Amino acid sequence: DSGVTQTPKHLITATGQRVTLRCSPRSGDLSVYWYQQSLDQGLQFLIQYYNGEERAKGNILERFSAQQFPDLHSELNLSSLELGDSALYFCASSVTPGEDVEAFFGQGTRLTVV
């Protein structure tokens, strides 16, 4: 157990809908990362937060947004969902956003858009 908790584990929804994925980082970790893993794809970086502030952005679609709350948990909001958004979404956390700091991953949320 990495200490990073993601909910829900599975989510099935229809095209056009909006969903929220939740992540609780490890105790003491201030930085949260969101990654998308599609079939046969690696881990695509979406966005990073550090202590409530957006730190870095990757190839995150405009339909997607995220935030980190004062208690450090984070939510990833996906709207106007398309079939191609079906993927595993991982949250990871680290103590700081430093370049050589180990990131701990949650077990992921499997999103299926039908």
Partner 1 sequence: GENVEQHPSTLSVQEGDSAVIKCTYSDSASNYFPWYKQELGKGPQLIIDIRSNVGEKKDQRIAVTLNKTAKHFSLHITETQPEDSAVYFCAASGGSYIPTFGRGTSLIVHP
Per-residue tokens: 95: 């103590």
Among 58, 63, 84, 114, binds partner 1 (CB under 8 A): 58
Which residues lie below 8 Å from residue 31, measured CB to CB, with a gap of 6+?
A: 25, 48, 49, 50, 51, 55, 93, 94, 95, 96, 97, 101
Interface with partner 1, residue 49, by CB under 8 A: no
Q: How far is the CB of 16 from partner 1 (least distance, A)?
A: 29
Specify the amino acid at residue 94.
S
Interface with partner 1, residue 42, by CB under 8 A: yes
- 3-state secondary structure at position 23: strand
Q: Cβ closer to partner 1: 33 or 64? A: 33
Among 45, 52, 86, 95, binds partner 1 (CB under 8 A): 45
51, 55, 99, 88: CA torsion to nearest 10: 90
Interface with partner 1, residue 40, by CB under 8 A: yes
Total chain residues near partner 1 (CB under 8 A): 26
Q: Which residues bind partner 1 (CB under 8 A)?
A: 2, 4, 33, 35, 40-43, 45, 48, 55-56, 58, 90, 92, 97-100, 102-108
